[in-house]
Chains A and B, each alone.
Chain A
Amino acid sequence: QSVLTQPPSVSAAPGQKVTISCSGSNSNIENNYVSWYQQLPGTAPRLLIYDNSQRPSGIPDRFSGSKSGTSATLGITGLQTGDEADYYCATWDSGLSGYWVFGGGTKLTVL
């Protein structure tokens, strides 16, 4: 059971838009920055979004991130078949011990 809750799967057609939610609590998402990672099949995760909504260089503006309260959202527009991957949210949990927590991951299928 992951500390952050993501939908197990989402799907949409090429060219369409999809959003992936990440739900947490005031000890993690609400008071810390969220990052998002894309994991293509058989590869290591890759940073997509940092500081809730910032894109690293090389990440297309089709990818966006936002945060409100205890939830964060990843948006992907203009879906491409190459976007089929697992997506993970992550943030710091400032509870008793302080440590990183991840969402359970969302499998994106581009139909």
Chain B
Amino acid sequence: QVQLQESGPGLVKPSETLSLTCTVSGDSVSSGSYYWSWIRQPPGKGLEYIGYIYYTGKTNYNPSLKSRVTISMDTSKNKFSLRLSSVTAADTAVYFCARERGLFGIAVPGNNWFDPWGRGTLVTVSS
């Protein structure tokens, strides 16, 4: 069974860089069948897509965050990571990682869905 687990600091100071890692078990981030994604949820609010990475290194980012976001992958450790720079209080959220997949194991933008999700980790931006 595929499981994803987020990890990283729960508190980040304003203007610094938020760094999180998602460890995948039961599947390989090197699989060409999936994209590996980050999604966040501010307290009491809805879900916001951050971006994804494919095993080739191809990435896609939410245009509203693109200038501050970097998603990378470490295939040797079966992990992928998120870096969000110049954070403010508005970046306080629960951050989820998720596997993005499509029908017949083929991930094609527009044809995919998120399953499974990690449990999420709360990151608070405060001095």
How many residues of chain A get a CB closer than 8 Å to chain B's CBs? 29
Number of interchain pairs (Cβ within 8 Å): 70
CB of B106 within 8 Å of the partner chain: no
> Which residues 32-76 in B have Cβ within 8 Å of A in the complex?
37, 39, 46-49, 51, 60-63, 66
Complex: how many Å from CA A47 to CA B111? 14
> Which residues 19-43 in A have Cβ within 8 Å of B in the complex?
31-33, 35, 37, 43
Apart from A100-B37, A104-B46: 17 A-B pairs, beta carbons within 8 A: A2-B46, A32-B111, A33-B111, A44-B96, A45-B47, A45-B114, A45-B117, A47-B114, A47-B115, A90-B49, A92-B110, A97-B66, A98-B109, A99-B61, A99-B62, A100-B49, A102-B49
Please report B residues at the A interface, Cβ cutoff 8 Å. 37, 39, 46-49, 51, 60-63, 66, 96, 103, 109-120
